[in-house]
Chains A and B, each alone.
Chain A
Amino acid sequence: MKRLGVDNWGERLTRRLAGRLSRRSALARLGALLVAAPAFPLLPVQRARAADAGNGTDFSREAQAHDDTACNYWRYCGIDGNLCSCCGGSVHSCPPGSQPSPTSWIGSCINPADQRSYLIAYRDCCGASICNKCSCLGTDHAMPIYRPQANNHVIWCIGANTFEYHCSMAVLVGLAE
């Protein structure tokens, strides 16, 4: 019976391997592979790639979740203005004498406490002269002025009684993902 070329080739390969390798050798190599494989994701290169693939930003890597009068407080990743927290108000309430604008722009920031992304409304307090304390600038998800819907430099007092800017809040709207 005529044998196919691939049969001959397969037989030669199998016999050569059987002649050279012991069963122990094969088991040792398989064992080494099993032990070594889980170590690869721990290598720094892999960790760096994982960090890039995540939803972290330059801001979020330096952000903190305990002091809302500091510019690196996590909710301020897209804020542009003076923190209401430093002006007699809070992160979600206007200082006395100013009123919250009904309009805002909504971005999202990562909370370092759980690494999840939360929607944040940057809502200005209007109707009092500017509070010059704690001027901060975060640019995450902010768009240039030609897309003013998400521009943080606009005075967001649209719909308020006056366009007089006092300070900016960072109101938690919801969990994004």
Chain B
Amino acid sequence: MGRRSAITMGLAACVLAPIAAVAIGATPPVLPAASARPRTPLPAAQVAYLTSCGGCHGIEGVSAPGKVPTLRGLTGSFLCTRQGRDFLVRLPDVALTTLSDRMLTEVMNFVVFDIGAPVAGGRPAPAYTIGEVARLRREPLTDTGLTAYRNRVVAGLAARCEVPAALHVYAARVTIAR
């Protein structure tokens, strides 16, 4: 018998957090070379990103375009408006993570500055502070339609900054073919 029950199959955890849009035509994920043993430890924020987010969103911030939101090159755009900036932290899987306020702040800054491209147009955005993240994560977006809310956030971004076209496309629906 297969060791995985059908009940668990539909539990696509990663699609719960629609952080960014889907990059159409993005390059497929590249699996890292497994033979070489890395010598330098990854930064703590990157380790926390990988273990808390990177499985679904991808080691490089790109995984399954059309099914899991792409982060690479897109997350920085959300810093263009206060609403967009707040939105990223208030996403349920971000706000309700088991990470501490301090580590979550480091992860957020890694995601928007290192994985995401700098915000286009407008002034350079300041980094998230611990106090800001601690406050925002107490108000998770758990009682709203996330996709509709995201569309309003992106419309606000587009009105003020030059956002990548890919930011307008979001497909939260997971198709499970058998």
Given contacts A104-B55, A149-B93, contact A163 B176 (CB under 8 A): yes
The secondary structure that dominates the B interface is loop
Judged by a CB distance under 8 angstroms, whether A130 is at the interface is: yes
Does A107 lie within 8 Å of B51, measured CB to CB? yes
- B8→A155 contact, CB < 8 A: yes
Report the Cα distance A149→B16, complex, angstroms. Answer: 10
Which residues does chain B contribute within 8 Å of A135, judged by CB atoms?
Answer: 3
CB-CB nearest in chain B for A94: B31
Closest residue of B by beta carbon distance from A159: B64
Check if A175 sits within 8 Å of B13, measured CB to CB: no
Q: Given A92-B34, A103-B68, are A173 and B4 neighbors across the interface (CB < 8 Å)?
A: no
B25 at the A/B interface (Cβ < 8 Å)? no
Give bound CA distance, A9 to B55, whole Å: 70
Among A22-30, A33-41, A56-64, A164-172, the stretch in contact with B: A164-172
Q: Is there contact, CB below 8 Å, between B3 and A159? A: no
User: B148 to chain A: which residues have CB within 8 Å?
Assistant: none
| CB pair A172 B37 closer than 8 Å | yes
Chain B CB within 8 A of A148 CB: yes
Do residues B3 and A149 form an inter-chain contact, with CB atoms below 8 A?
no
- Determine if A171 and B31 form an interchain contact, defined as CB atoms under 8 angstroms apart: yes
**Cross-chain contact B29 with A102 (CB below 8 angstroms):** yes
Residue from B9, B35, B39, B56 in contact with A103 in the complex, judged by beta carbons closer than 8 Å: B56
CA A173 – CA B59 in complex, angstroms? 8
Q: Decide: A171 and B174 in contact? CB cutoff 8 A.
A: no
Select which of B29, B52, B64 is within 8 A of A149 by beta carbon.
B52
For window 140-177 of A, CB contacts with B under 8 Å fall at 141, 145, 147-151, 153-156, 158-165, 171-177
Return chain B residues, CB-CB under 8 Å to A103: 14, 55-56, 58, 63-64, 68
Chain A interface, number of residues (Cβ within 8 angstroms): 48
Residue pair B56, A174 in contact (C-beta under 8 Å) = no
The answer to whether B123 has its CB under 8 Å from any CB of chain A is: no
B150 within 8 Å of A by Cβ?
A: no
Measured CB to CB, the closest approach of chain B to A100, in angstroms, equals: 6
Whether A153 contacts B34 by the Cβ 8 Å rule is no
Is A175 a contact of B64 with CB atoms below 8 Å?
no
Q: In the complex, what residues of A have CB within 8 A of residue B31's CB?
A: 92-93, 100, 123, 171
Instruction: Digitize B4-33: 1 where CB-to-A-CB distance is under 8 Å, 0 elsewhere.
Output: 110011011111000000000000110111
What is the distance, in angstroms, from B82's C-beta to the closest C-beta of chain A?
A: 28
CA distance A118 to B40 in the complex (A): 11
Chain A residues near B42 (CB-CB < 8 A) = 119, 174-176
Which residue from A153, A159, A171 sits with its C-beta under 8 Å from B8? A153
**B45 in the interface (beta carbon within 8 A):** no
A121 at the binding interface (Cβ < 8 Å): yes
A12 to B123, CA, bound (A): 77
- Identity of the chain A residue whose Cβ is nearest the Cβ of B174 in the assembled complex: A158
| A172 and B34 contacting across the interface, CB-CB below 8 Å | yes
Residues of chain A within 8 A of B93, CB atoms compared: 149
Return the 3 tightest CB-CB contacts between A and B, nearest first.
A159-B64, A92-B34, A148-B13
24 A-B residue contacts at CB 8 Å? A80-B4, A81-B3, A81-B4, A92-B35, A106-B54, A119-B42, A145-B8, A148-B13, A151-B8, A154-B8, A154-B11, A155-B9, A158-B15, A159-B66, A163-B177, A171-B32, A171-B34, A173-B32, A173-B59, A174-B46, A175-B38, A175-B40, A175-B42, A176-B47
